[in-house]
């Protein structure tokens, strides 16, 4: 009986243990099922790793992921847009109509006058348009010589508005090719300065010889100078007048006579000629394409001063400066005497004078006056030739600058 009771007790205890183990297993399985139901937190946590398919880099080689990788490849265009700044500017300059701001565009940048008459007025026009999207302002128009003038109706042009720049060129008297330029400055941000070019060829209608007159003052035995005038286009003309610098040259002519060629004899007034060493003689004509011819002349004066101007540096008030080697020469090898040498300001005197071949050589002593707060001083030395001309030497002096 005892044995049977023990066996029954053991079976009871085993059943209880088995029941508890089953409960624990059921509880554990219930606990495991709860996290599975809480998918939201898992999806948040997994959403980030989800990109980890990228980790599966073996798959990029497959055709499906390969297209996904071009997206990083699409980013290289960014460096392309940054690198070629010059190309961007060039493109902006080319795309004039679409550029931001005012843009000036000329119809033509070069005008060819072709053949032009000497000393004639020639007019050309340069049309332009504001092809930008803002108000165009013409700031300046600069020509390269005084023989060119321009006219402009106004200085401001709205987008799409056109204008015209008229330029008048007065041709030179001598024949040959000519080129003149005009620079137009505006508020165009891409091309603020535009150069317009005019060119042509001046064709002479009258030929003349000599092209320069070299005159002498010595004696009356020299032949009077002559000028030969010839019509190159066969059109007859007459002489209307003769004018010269200081009235040193004149001529006799009949304005009623017409011809295709003239030999004009000139008269030289030596007294007037002595007053100048260079000048021009202008012969007025009635030729339709040549109103006048201009011939330069130079005269060999009787006397030559060397130097014609004395310049002194680092002068000090009251401290004399001596200049040697000052000469007065006669260009015609004539004998002469110097009557006197005077100083306008009384600061120059002759310390030495000697006769040399065809003239004299001086040594002058110049004593700078009190500076009186100025940086320079001047004087004029007059040399009177006996029974002749009065020659003048200019003197310019600069005081020593005091160190600060």
In the prediction, which pLDDT does 15 show?
Answer: 60
What does the pLDDT look like over 95-118, one tens digit per residue?
444 558 999 999 999 999 999 988
Mean pLDDT of 205-223: 84
In the prediction, which pLDDT does 193 show?
Answer: 96
Is the pLDDT at 47 greater than 60? The verdict is no
In the prediction, which pLDDT does 195 show?
Answer: 96
* Terminal Cα distance for the chain, rounded: 141
Instruction: Let me know: does 283 contact 291? Beta carbons within 8 Å.
Output: no
In the prediction, which pLDDT does 104 show?
Answer: 96
Please, which pLDDT band fits residue 253 given cuts at 50, 70 and 90? Answer: very high
In the prediction, which pLDDT does 217 show?
Answer: 82
What does the pLDDT look like over 314-332, one tens digit per residue?
999 999 999 999 999 998 8
Burial call 328-362: b when 16+ CB within 10 Å, e when fewer: bbbeeeeebebeebebeeebbebeeeeeeebbbbb
Please, which pLDDT band fits residue 198 given cuts at 50, 70 and 90? Answer: very high
Q: Check for a shared fold between 98-202 and 206-300.
A: yes
Instruction: Let me know: does 161 contact 104? Beta carbons within 8 Å.
Output: no
Is the pLDDT at 300 greater than 60? The verdict is yes
Mean pLDDT of 384-388: 90
What does the pLDDT look like over 156-179, one tens digit per residue?
999 999 999 999 999 887 789 999
Is the pLDDT at 55 greater than 50? The verdict is no
Ranges 18-27, 38-47, 107-116: which has the least confidence: 38-47
Instruction: Let me know: does 187 contact 137? Beta carbons within 8 Å.
Output: yes
Which CATH class, in words, describes the domain spanning 206-300? mainly beta
What CATH number does domain 98-202 carry, 2.60.40.10, 1.10.1740.10, 3.30.200.20, 3.10.580.10?
2.60.40.10
| Superfamily of chain region 303-399 | Immunoglobulins (2.60.40.10)
In the prediction, which pLDDT does 100 show?
Answer: 84
In the prediction, which pLDDT does 347 show?
Answer: 94
CA 394/CA 396 separation, integer angstroms: 7
In the prediction, which pLDDT does 69 show?
Answer: 45
In the prediction, which pLDDT does 58 show?
Answer: 44
Is the pLDDT at 263 greater than 80? The verdict is yes
Is the pLDDT at 23 greater than 70? The verdict is no
CA 305/CA 381 separation, integer angstroms: 12
Please, which pLDDT band fits residue 389 given cuts at 50, 70 and 90? Answer: confident
Q: pLDDT > 90: what percent of the chain?
A: 58
Please, which pLDDT band fits residue 221 given cuts at 50, 70 and 90? Answer: low
Domain layout of the chain by residue ranges: 53-83, 98-202, 206-300, 303-399
Instruction: Tell me which residue has tokens 């007053």.
Output: 275
Is the pLDDT at 126 greater than 60? The verdict is yes
Is the pLDDT at 2 greater than 70? The verdict is no
In the prediction, which pLDDT does 291 show?
Answer: 86
CA 324/CA 365 separation, integer angstroms: 9
Model pTM? 0.53
Phi, psi dihedral angles at 90 (to 5 degrees)? -65, -40
Please, which pLDDT band fits residue 154 given cuts at 50, 70 and 90? Answer: very high
Name 230's bridge partners.
Answer: 207, 261
């Amino acid at each position: 009986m005892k044995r049977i009771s023990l066996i029954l007790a053991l079976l009871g205890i085993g059943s209880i243990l088995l029941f508890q183990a089953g409960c624990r297993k059921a509880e554990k399985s219930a606990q495991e099922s709860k996290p599975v139901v809480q998918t939201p937190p898992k999806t948040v946590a997994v959403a980030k790793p989800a990109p980890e398919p990228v980790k599966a880099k073996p798959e990029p080689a497959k055709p499906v992921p390969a297209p996904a990788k071009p997206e990083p490849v699409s980013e290289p265009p960014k460096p392309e847009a940054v690198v070629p700044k010059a190309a961007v500017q060039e493109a902006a300059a080319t795309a004039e109509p679409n550029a931001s701001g005012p843009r000036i565009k000329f119809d033509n940048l070069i005008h060819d006058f072709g053949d032009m008459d000497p000393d004639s007025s020639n007019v050309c026009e340069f049309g332009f348009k504001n092809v930008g999207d803002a108000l165009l302002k013409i700031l300046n128009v600069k020509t390269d010589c005084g023989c060119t003038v321009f006219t402009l109706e106004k200085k401001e042009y709205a987008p799409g508005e056109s204008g015209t720049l008229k330029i008048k060129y007065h041709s030179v008297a001598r024949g040959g090719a000519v080129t003149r330029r005009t620079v137009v400055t505006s508020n165009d941000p891409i091309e603020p300065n535009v150069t317009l070019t005019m060119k042509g060829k001046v064709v002479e209608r009258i030929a003349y010889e000599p092209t320069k007159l070299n005159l002498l003052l010595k004696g009356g035995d020299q032949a009077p100078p002559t000028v030969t005038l010839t019509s190159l286009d066969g059109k007859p003309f007459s002489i209307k007048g003769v004018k010269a610098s200081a009235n040193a040259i004149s001529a006799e002519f009949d304005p009623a006579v017409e011809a295709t060629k003239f030999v004009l004899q000139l008269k030289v007034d030596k007294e007037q000629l002595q007053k100048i060493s260079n000048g021009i003689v202008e012969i007025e004509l009635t030729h339709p394409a040549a109103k006048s011819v201009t011939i330069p002349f130079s005269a060999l004066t009787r006397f030559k001063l060397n130097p014609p101007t004395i310049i002194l540096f680092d002068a000090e008030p009251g401290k004399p400066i001596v200049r040697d080697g000052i000469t007065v020469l006669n260009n015609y090898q004539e004998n002469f005497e110097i009557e006197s040498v005077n100083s306008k300001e009384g600061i120059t005197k002759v310390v030495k004078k000697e006769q040399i071949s065809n003239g004299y050589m001086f040594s002058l002593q110049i004593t700078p006056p009190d500076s009186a707060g100025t940086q320079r001083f001047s004087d004029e030395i007059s040399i009177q030739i006996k029974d002749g001309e009065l020659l003048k030497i200019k003197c310019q002096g600069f005081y020593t600058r005091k160190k600060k």
